[in-house]
Amino acid sequence: MKSLVVANWKMNPQTFREAKQLFEATRRAAESVRSVSLVVAPPALYLRELKRAYKGRKISLAAQNAHAAGSGAYTGELSLTQVQDAGASYVLIGHAERRAAGEGNDDVRKKVAAALSTRLAPILCVGEATRSPRGEHFLYVAEQLQAGFADVLPGKANRVIVAYEPVWAIGTQKSMTPADMHEMAIFIRKTVQGKGHNGLAIKILYGGSIDERNAHDMIERGDVNGLLVGRASTEAKKFADLLEALHES
């Protein structure tokens, strides 16, 4: 089965010219890796032009965020229909950086349901800020999952992709161990199952200081279906090396 890799460019690069160059380098790297399905999440401003220029099928596009409402007085926001019209097939929801800026579980709940109704695949991001020896972080993740799946209709849960991103690992040099990720993956599936959905059908991604050095082990031993890659996805050589590492898995 192919691994799903989501490249979250965040607020990079600074010009569309650079975005085209990065996308082309990403495309070249992806074309030679048959074992990976790739989703690129650029700044929304670049979505339409990247989609227009790309004629292949190897890469899909994602929005990094969107509003749950279909339209209205929401200055500065983008609707899910708008990002879909611009060429996105996926949308990131509840990323740790969005949550840090004030997005709550109720916002996430609305966005997941709205994305499904718009026929966009929601990538629901969950993860704790700190780990506790007593396991409080599991309760925190459970709350995020329960909110995210609260309005998901029966039979639709398998369209939701869960990206687990431990906040303590984002942007650092320390990644979660595959063994710990395996434990968390089991917990995620059980929690989703507890909401009345088929937890075994859920695709789970890992995100958090992932690069070419640890990507292979995380896929092989972490019980995940793919990766959510941040910083490394904006460095063409590092990202190509990461994809190659997965190709060798």
Half-sphere exposure at residue 187, Cβ-oriented, CA atoms within 13 angstroms: 21
Amino acid identity of 145? L
pLDDT digits (tens, 9 = 90+) for 201-225: 999 999 988 889 999 999 999 999 9
Angstrom distance (rounded) from CA 75 to CA 73? 6
Q: What is the dihedral of CA 17, 101, 215, 34, to 10 degrees?
A: -50
Q: How confident is the model at residue 172 (pLDDT cuts 50, 70, 90)?
A: low
Measured in whole angstroms, how far is the alpha carbon of residue 9 from the centre of its chain? Answer: 11
At 3, the amino acid letter reads S
Least confident of 127-131, 147-151, 181-185: 127-131
Q: Cβ contacts of residue 214 below 8 Å, gap of 6+?
A: 175
Choosing from 97, 128, 137, 165, the catalytic residue is: 165
Reported residue count of the chain is: 249
Q: Which of 67, 95, 137, 197 is catalytic?
A: 95
Q: pLDDT, tens digit, for every residue of 46-58?
A: 999 999 999 999 9
Query: With bands split at pLDDT 50, 70 and 90, how would you rate the model's confidence at 185?
Result: very high
DSSP type of residue 56: -
- Mean of pLDDT values over 126-148: 93
Q: Would you state the pLDDT for residue 135?
A: 84
Residue 95 annotated among the catalytic residues of the structure: yes
Domain count of the fold of the chain: 1
Looking at residue 173, its pLDDT comes to 66
Domain range enclosing 21: 3-247
State yes or no: cis peptide before 13, omega within 30 of 0.
Answer: yes
Is 247 one of the annotated active-site residues of the chain? no
| CATH number of the domain residue 88 falls in | 3.20.20.70
Query: Which of the four pLDDT bands, split at 50, 70 and 90, describes residue 170?
Result: confident
- Give yes or no for a contact between 223 and 186, defined as CB atoms under 8 angstroms apart: yes
pLDDT of residue 156: 94
Integer Cα distance of 107 and 20 in angstroms: 32
Decide if pLDDT at 189 tops 90.
yes
